[in-house]
């Protein structure tokens, strides 16, 4: 573990590499901290997210203001474009056909509002793809999963419990709360109160339960907090303090749409599996992961339901039955390269992505690589990782938060404050003719430079290491008037 040692001498360290440059200076407002350039952080973030899919993902997660959403009602002329498409391809009559057993908290109006919150769901395509067909397939895919997650699972010939003799794929949305749980019961509080990043960002409220609620059975405080931020302009506390809203309002369906649109690196967003915006990587293709309903199972619950060992397991068998019944009824075409099953796939959790260059990740974590020419050896940077963290590459400003918020949660990380821009000090060569230090130049043992009106001599090969007294590759020679 690196030990951070600060001195009273001003330091300016600039690292020039093929990938990045960082200007790091002691913080004049904090004797134990440093300042970094916001401009350089933004450049680093942009460089790491150059792939166009980052813009596609971010666009898919854009939302409308709740004041617009809550004005949505069936057949209103003011309804957003994507809502009108849903009304056209999946009208109230079809909703009623698939929700004969549904809990009263699920309504068609709430369904439309959930979709209206996210313009990308049943949104427009400008490249020739059929938006209506993709919309219908998205809805039917969602209902196949609803039928498994919250369905009645009652046999058609069980007339006493199923007097309407509904197909099992017509029995979606029966449960609005996880069976065995009710409001007022604290529970699903695993990890609450711990001193970790999840609790600092999404602190549990005393006495609240974060058990499954809604069409996707949203569970655990970190999911409630993240969903709340999307629904309420970055405010995690709304649903952390009142998780029951996910059962008793249009959020019971919006939580499922949010999940449908959100990539969980390295898993793609379910929408992009369906509309083929996602292109499987070489590792995914080798693991049997391609297009089709089966991959949406892998996205949702692959660790439990996918792979040869789960071929005959109840959950995936049910999902596939429901999908096949629904797709047959609605005449959803199954393309030649699509698989309904995922038993032939490696679950995402078991996929070895080490060294893969064509897999994109969506979360920031600290870059722990050692930098000999930076204070304490720290990078002062973040990198993309294939696991959940508090910081998303799809959220504006999260890269900067990653760099600055690690202090306090990681004992060895330095205190960092961001300023808009840092101008490297201008050093005028002295009359003696010793040239000013150049951050891009290679210096060999014995080379001399001037820096901050001081002459230094290189003790060994160096590049990008700003001269300073007492340490590093430079030897103090003399101070100049």
Query: Which tens digit of pLDDT belongs to each residue from 86-98?
Result: 999 999 999 999 9
- Checking if the pLDDT of 15 tops 70, the result is no
User: How is domain 52-278 classified at the architecture level of CATH?
Assistant: Orthogonal Bundle (1.10)
- Checking if the pLDDT of 471 tops 80, the result is no
Span 281-312, pLDDT tens digits:
999 999 999 999 999 999 999 999 999 999 99
433-481: which CATH number, 3.40.640.10, 3.90.1150.10, 2.60.40.10, 2.10.10.20?
A: 2.10.10.20
Q: What is the pLDDT of residue 20?
A: 60
- Checking if the pLDDT of 111 tops 50, the result is yes
Q: What is the pLDDT of residue 478?
A: 83
- Model confidence at 8, pLDDT cuts 50, 70, 90, reads very low
- Model confidence at 435, pLDDT cuts 50, 70, 90, reads confident
**Greatest Cα-to-Cα distance within the chain, rounded to the nearest angstrom:** 101
**Residues 24, 31 contacting (CB under 8 angstroms):** no
Three-state DSSP state, 23: strand
- Checking if the pLDDT of 143 tops 50, the result is yes
Written as six digits, the tokens of 264 are 């969980």
445 Cβ neighbours under 8 A, 6+ residues apart: 458, 459, 460, 461
For residue 252, the surrounding DSSP H or E stretch is helix 251-261
Residue positions annotated with a catalytic role: 149
Distance CA 297, CA 347 (A): 10
Q: What is the pLDDT of residue 163?
A: 95
Distance CA 187, CA 179 (A): 13
Q: What is the pLDDT of residue 3?
A: 25
- Do 52-278 and 433-481 come out as alike in CATH topology? no
Lowest mean pLDDT among 256-260, 302-306, 335-339, 385-389: 385-389
| Sequence spans of domains, the chain | 13-51+362-419, 52-278, 279-350, 433-481
Span 376-386, pLDDT tens digits:
888 899 999 88
């Amino acid at each position: 573990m690196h030990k951070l040692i600060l001195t009273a001498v001003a330091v300016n360290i600039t690292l020039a590499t093929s990938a990045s440059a960082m200007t790091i200076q002691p913080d004049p407002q904090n004797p134990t901290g440093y300042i970094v350039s916001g401009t350089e952080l933004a450049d680093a973030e942009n460089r790491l997210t150059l792939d166009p899919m980052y813009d596609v993902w971010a666009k898919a997660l854009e939302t409308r203001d709740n004041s617009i959403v809550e004005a949505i009602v069936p057949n209103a002329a003011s309804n957003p474009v994507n809502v009108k498409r849903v009304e056209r391809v999946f009208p109230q009559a079809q909703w009623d056909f698939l929700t004969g057993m549904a809990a009263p908290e699920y309504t068609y109006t709430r369904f439309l509002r959930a979709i209206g919150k996210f313009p990308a769901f049943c949104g427009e395509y400008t490249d020739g793809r059929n938006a209506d067909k993709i919309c219908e397939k998205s809805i039917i895919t969602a209902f196949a999963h609803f039928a498994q997650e919250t369905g009645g699972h009652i046999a058609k010939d069980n007339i006493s419990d199923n007097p309407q003799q509904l197909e099992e794929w017509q029995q979606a949305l029966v449960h609005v709360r996880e069976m065995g749980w009710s409001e007022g019961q604290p529970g699903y509080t695993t990890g609450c109160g711990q001193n970790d990043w999840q609790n600092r960002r999404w602190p549990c409220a005393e006495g609240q339960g974060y058990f499954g609620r809604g069409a996707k059975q949203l569970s655990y405080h970190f999911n409630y907090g993240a969903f709340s931020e999307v629904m309420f302009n970055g405010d995690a506390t709304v649903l952390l303090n009142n998780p029951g809203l996910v059962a008793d309002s249009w959020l019971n369906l919006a939580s499922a749409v949010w999940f449908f649109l959100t990539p969980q690196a390295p898993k793609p967003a379910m929408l992009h599996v369906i509309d083929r915006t996602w292109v499987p990587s070489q590792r995914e293709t080798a693991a049997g992961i391609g297009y089709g309903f089966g991959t949406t199972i892998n996205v949702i619950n692959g660790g439990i339901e996918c792979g040869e060992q789960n071929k005959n397991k109840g959950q995936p068998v049910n999902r596939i039955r429901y999908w096949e019944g629904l797709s047959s009824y609605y005449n959803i075409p199954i393309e030649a390269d699509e698989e309904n099953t995922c038993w032939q796939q490696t679950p995402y959790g078991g996929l070895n992505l080490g060294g893969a260059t064509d897999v994109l990740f969506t979360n920031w974590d600290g870059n722990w690589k050692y930098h000999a020419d930076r204070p304490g050896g720290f990078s002062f940077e973040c990198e993309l990782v294939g696991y959940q963290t508090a910081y998303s590459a799809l959220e504006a400003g999260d890269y900067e938060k990653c760099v600055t918020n690690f202090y306090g949660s990681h004992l060895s990380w330095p205190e960092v404050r961001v300023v808009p821009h840092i101008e490297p000090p201008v050093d005028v060569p002295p009359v003696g003719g010793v040239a000013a230090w150049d951050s891009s130049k290679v210096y060999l043992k014995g080379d001399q430079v001037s820096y901050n009106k001081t002459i230094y001599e290189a003790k060994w090969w160096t590049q990008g290491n700003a001269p300073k007294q007492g340490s590093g590759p430079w030897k103090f020679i003399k101070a100049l008037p």
